């Protein structure tokens, strides 16, 4: 549902090289290069919808499906890393209220573009995963919440859903099982906060994307106050593989606590940017040297943002010492997050980088909680005073106290998502701030400039 | 007797109304959800496509259709970046300014474009053809920098490619450069 303008015919898949790279272990992306894989017939020829058939024809119970997903150990791939099987298990078993499954395709964490690859090329893998998930939690309706800007992906997913209806995988009495399920696309309209699961629910309810306090968790009281599961695109797309190959096969890949593979979106100062599927627990060097062919123009690595811009920054030494799993990255004080990795070389000015990110979070704060609405603005203004060379020595402390007064004091984690990075940049790269301080006049005329909108 | 008739009340603006095709689409959208209000975002997309922007009169029309107050609709319209209260140009150039695009030079592309076209965000060129906006991460970090023009993404840009894209828009045949 989009008005077609003269630009319609220029809509196309993401312009990056998606051919397999050395160092990858492709499970989800195994058939990515197959011509026409976004069509149902080609997807079926590669074993597509076999997982759904297996469940419905062998009459596996919803609980058996949940057990398999639990056994696989897969954790949510959107950012929080919560075990998917556990999330499904929280949904009440009774049907006193309708249940819903929501696929979070609002991909908007800066540095992240991996769901787009699934949406644009492998929509049926996600749809099959959604139908299986819906069966597991006994949801009669599901929605794919796609960010409004992803117009091409929306078109592809809408076509794929139509194909799935025609093939009898959606609608009434799916494959003669008695299970009914309807699936719809719901387009967002440009708001980062709608990627937060309760913000997404508010948005789907036709409201501002304001997050809600938890508990109650969506599994108990979500969309329209009914039990609701919200899963990321990549998580759902992994479900058919788990059902086809068994939970043990999946948990046999990766590490004990980070099973399976992870899609990494890599951008920044590397030779080859792109989306790479790597076994959890692989070394950072695998991704940097093998997949991305190393640093661009032979420059040195300065810093890594490992899991989307909300992830605290890592020094080159920390990155070189980490493996690509939840625990290792957490042990360095950051997080795997969405797997949106941004590589920064020795020429990058990290105060400027942080200032850029502070603008993003200030713009995207939903405004509901004071520490976030005001705090993101303060952080941005103080960082502007650095880059305008008007910072006072006390401003470094002000950045820290402002951040500390934001963390953990809001309904959702958007405030933490800039406050924690701010603290990490100051802790790990103090010399970057010192350089600006030594060049600063200490005479701030910032407020006048901001009022004149010269800086914004 | 003096004619004391009250001057005929003229509406200060046309009341918008969906075309039959849009009305059909509207009815279909409502069937997708278990609550009417849930259809608000797609209905606003539909209204914006139909009327060009979400002006006060369009907001009032949508509010009436959705059994909501104009205030309830306005707060949603103002919350989301993709809804416009005022018409945008025939080619609405949206520059991603977030980190990976910024590292790839998106600010310079944006500045060049504003000066080439002589407009700032919120303005439309006198011929109605172009408008510009700064937007946040569009999910094209690996193919940065990017400009979204209406529904299409133009990726891996540089100043020359962007100039070619704008030239092709001017000529009425937008081409991927």
- Kindly write down the DSSP assignment for every residue of A12-75, as one continuous string: -S--S--S--TT---STTTTTTSTTTTSHHHHHHTTTTHHHHHHHHTT--HHHHHHHHHHHT-B
State pLDDT tens for residues A198-252: 999 999 999 999 999 999 999 999 999 999 999 999 999 999 999 999 999 999 9
Across chain A, mean pLDDT equals 95
Residue B1: predicted pLDDT: 44
pLDDT average, residue stretch A447-452: 51
* Percent of chain A scoring above 90 in pLDDT: 95
Residue of A2, A12, A110, A345 best to disrupt the B interface, most CBs of B under 10 A: A110
Tell me which residue range forms the domain holding B47: 20-79
- A315 in the same domain as A191: no
Q: Is residue B15 situated within a structural domain? A: no
Tell me which residue range forms the domain holding A52: 19-251
CA distance A185 to chain B (A): 9
Of B40, B141, B151, nearest to A265 by CB-CB distance is B141
3 state DSSP class of A187: strand
The reply to whether residue B176 touches residue A12, judged by beta carbons under 8 angstroms, is yes
Residue A444: predicted pLDDT: 55
Which of the four pLDDT bands, split at 50, 70 and 90, describes residue A442? Answer: low
| Residue A64 · residue A246 · CB < 8 Å | no
Which of the four pLDDT bands, split at 50, 70 and 90, describes residue A172? Answer: very high
Q: Which residues of B touch A293 (CB under 8 A)?
A: none
The reply to whether residue B137 touches residue A15, judged by beta carbons under 8 angstroms, is no
- B59 in the same domain as B110: no
Q: Is residue A7 situated within a structural domain? A: no
The reply to whether residue B174 touches residue A7, judged by beta carbons under 8 angstroms, is yes
**The Cα angle at residue B60 between residues B54 and B61, in degrees rounded to 5:** 85
Last residue of one domain, picked from the residues A345, A368, A391: A345
Rg (C-alpha) for chain B, rounded Å, is: 20
Residues 287-346 of A with CB under 8 A from B: 305, 309, 340, 342, 344
Q: Is residue B7 situated within a structural domain? A: no
Dist CA A281 CA B112 (whole Å)? 44
- B160 in the same domain as B108: yes
- B165 in the same domain as B96: yes
- A148 in the same domain as A164: yes
ipTM: 0.94
Residue B9 in this model has a pLDDT that exceeds 70: no
Dist CA B42 CA A188 (whole Å)? 8
Last residue of one domain, picked from the residues A205, A224, A251: A251
State pLDDT tens for residues B40-57: 999 999 999 999 999 999
Instruction: Give me the CATH number covering residue B62.
Output: 1.10.10
pLDDT average, residue stretch A360-387: 97
Burial B44-81 (b: 16+ CB within 10 A, else e): bbbbbebbeebbebbbbbbbebbebebebbbebbebbb
- B95 in the same domain as B73: no
- B102 in the same domain as B164: yes
Burial A185-203 (b: 16+ CB within 10 A, else e): bbbbbbbbbbbbbbbbbbb
Of A151, A189, A267, nearest to B151 by CB-CB distance is A151
Q: Is residue A456 situated within a structural domain? A: no
Number of domains in chain B: 2
């Amino acid at each position: 549902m989009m008005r077609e303008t003269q630009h319609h015919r220029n809509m196309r898949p993401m312009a990056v090289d998606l051919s397999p790279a050395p160092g990858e272990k492709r499970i989800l992306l195994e058939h990515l290069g197959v011509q026409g894989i976004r069509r149902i017939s080609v997807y079926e020829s590669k074993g597509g919808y076999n997982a759904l058939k297996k469940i419905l024809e062998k009459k596996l119970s919803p609980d058996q499906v949940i057990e398999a997903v639990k056994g696989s150990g897969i954790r949510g791939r959107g950012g929080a890393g919560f075990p998917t099987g556990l999330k499904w298990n929280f949904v009440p078993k009774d049907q006193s209220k309708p249940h819903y499954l929501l696929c979070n395709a609002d991909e908007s964490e800066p540095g992240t573009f991996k769901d787009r690859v699934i949406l644009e090329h492998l929509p049926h893998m996600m749809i099959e995963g959604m139908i299986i998930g819906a069966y597991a939690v006994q949801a009669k309706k599901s929605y794919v919440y796609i960010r409004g800007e992803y117009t091409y992906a929306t078109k592809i997913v809408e076509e794929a859903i139509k194909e799935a209806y025609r093939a009898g995988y959606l609608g009434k009495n799916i494959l003669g099982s008695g299970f009914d399920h309807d699936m719809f696309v719901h387009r967002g309209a440009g708001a980062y906060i709608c990627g937060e699961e309760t913000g997404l629910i508010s948005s789907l309810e036709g409201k501002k994307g304001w997050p809600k306090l938890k508990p109650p968790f969506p599994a108990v009281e979500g969309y329209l106050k009914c039990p609701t599961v919200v899963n990321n695109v990549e998580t759902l797309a992994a479900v058919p593989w788990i059902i086809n190959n068994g939970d043990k096969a999946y948990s046999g890949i990766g590490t004990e606590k980070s099973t399976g593979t992870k899609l990494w979106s890599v951008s920044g100062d590397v030779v080859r940017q792109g989306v790479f599927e790597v076994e959890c627990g692989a070394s950072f060097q695998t991704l940097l040297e093998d997949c991305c062919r190393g640093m661009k123009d032979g420059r040195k690595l300065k810093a890594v943002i490992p899991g989307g811009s909300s992830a605290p920054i890592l020094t080159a030494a920390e990155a070189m010492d980490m493996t690509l799993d939840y625990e290792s990255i957490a042990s360095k004080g950051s997080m795997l997050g969405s797997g949106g990795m941004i590589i920064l070389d020795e020429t990058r000015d990290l105060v400027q980088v942080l200032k850029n990110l502070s603008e993003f979070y200030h713009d995207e704060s939903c405004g509901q909680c004071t520490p976030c609405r005001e705090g993101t603005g303060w952080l941005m203004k103080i960082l502007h005073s650095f880059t305008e060379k008007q910072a006072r020595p006390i401003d470094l402390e002000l950045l820290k106290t402002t951040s500390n007064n934001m963390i953990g004091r809001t309904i959702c984690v958007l405030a933490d998502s800039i406050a924690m990075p701010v603290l990490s940049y100051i802790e790990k790269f103090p010399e970057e701030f010192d350089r600006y301080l030594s060049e600063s006049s200490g005479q701030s005329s910032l407020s006048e400039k901001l009022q004149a909108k010269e800086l914004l | 007797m003096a004619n004391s008739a009250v001057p005929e009340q003229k509406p200060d603006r046309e009341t918008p109304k969906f075309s039959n095709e849009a009305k059909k689409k509207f009815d279909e959208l409502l069937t997708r959800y278990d609550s009417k209000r849930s259809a608000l975002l797609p209905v606003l997309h539909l209204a914006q496509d139909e009327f060009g922007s979400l002006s006060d009169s369009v907001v009032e029309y949508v509010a009436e259709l959705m059994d909501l107050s104009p205030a309830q609709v306005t707060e949603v319209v103002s919350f989301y970046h993709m809804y416009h209260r005022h018409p945008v140009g025939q080619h609405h150039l949206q520059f991603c300014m977030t980190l990976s695009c910024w590292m790839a030079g998106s600010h310079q592309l944006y500045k060049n474009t504003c000066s080439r076209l002589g407009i700032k965000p919120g303005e439309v060129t006198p011929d109605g053809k172009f408008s510009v906006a700064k937007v946040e991460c569009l999910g094209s970090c690996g193919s940065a920098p990017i400009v979204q023009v209406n529904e299409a993404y133009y990726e891996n840009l540089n100043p020359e490619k962007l100039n070619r894209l704008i030239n092709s828009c001017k000529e009425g045949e937008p081409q991927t450069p």
